[in-house]
Amino acid sequence: MNFFESCNIACDGERCPKCGRKKLRAVTDEDFCLVARVDRNFGDCLKDRLENEKIDCVLMPYGTGVRSKFALPLESYLLYVRYQNSEYVRQIIQETKADIF
């Protein structure tokens, strides 16, 4: 499995699936990888759950530029977890409406 640092994406191929660039390296268990886009409420619940299980996670606010400009609450988060936890976290969110990457 490869990893592209600028996008925090782990992938099988030689190019980052998000931006198409090719400077990938081998992923390590510690790398934070993008796993899903989740809505705000679910993201907050998931963060609590993962913290209880001692799993590191990072939620990055994700929304449209218009909403950001008017400082309204953002609709969703991009969820990043360490590569070693990514399969487990994907399973947790599989049955939700999250967009899994």
| CA–CA gap between residue 37 and residue 58 (Å, rounded) | 12
Strand partners for 82 = 32
72 binds Zn ion (CB under 5 A): no
16 binds Zn ion (CB under 5 A): yes
Complete DSSP assignment for 17-53: TTT-----EE--TT-EEEEEEEEHHHHHHHHHHHHHT
Tokens of 89: 């976290």
Q: Which residue's CB is nearer to Zn ion, number 16 or number 78?
A: 16
Nearer to Zn ion, 27 or 92 (CB): 27
19 binds Zn ion (CB under 5 A): yes
Instruction: Kindly state the smallest distance separating residue 6's Cβ from Zn ion, in Å.
Output: 6
Query: Considering beta carbons, is residue 44 or 99 the nearer one to Zn ion?
Result: 99
Contacts with Zn ion by CB under 5 A lie at 4, 7, 16, 18-19
